[in-house]
Amino acid sequence: MNKGVFLVGLFLTVILSCKPQNTEVNNITIDNLQVVLQNEENVQLLDVRTPEEWAGGVIETPIKIDVTGDDFEGKALEKLDKTKPVYLYCRSGGRSLKASELLAQKGFKVYNILGGYLEWTEKNKE
């Protein structure tokens, strides 16, 4: 009897202590990003476009990792801090969403920037 109770208790302890990873992707607007950039220091802003696209301009000073390049996941794990949120953008939002989903599965808190670099440049015309 005691052995059975012990095993049930052990089983419940193991099950309840297993915390599922948050794999949620949060979508934010360019306006939201501007508020974050104005109010937060050391923001992990990740540009997942290609080097050719980076040459045409970037938002602030991002970390650059081409999501279509070799070993995106390995480079992201090497360059990014899991204890801080990551804000991702691409040209218009498609590639950054895929990259966001991948990083969320790896335990990062991610924010996909809707509209991407195109919307950023449109809203920040001078």
Q: What is the strand order of the sheet 25-28 is part of?
A: 25-28, 110-113, 86-89, 44-47, 63-64
For residue 9, what are its two tokens?
């208790």
What is d(CA 33, CA 111) in angstroms, rounded to the nearest whole number? Answer: 9
Is residue 26 a contact partner of residue 111, using CB atoms and an 8 Å limit? yes
Matching residue, tokens 């279509």: 68
Catalytic residue among 88, 90, 97, 102, which? 90
Structure tokens at 56: 């045409």
Two structure tokens written together for 78? 């090497």
Length of the chain: 126
User: Is there a catalytic annotation at residue 18?
Assistant: no
The two three-digit tokens of residue 123, written as one number: 């809203």
Which of the residues are catalytic? Answer: 90
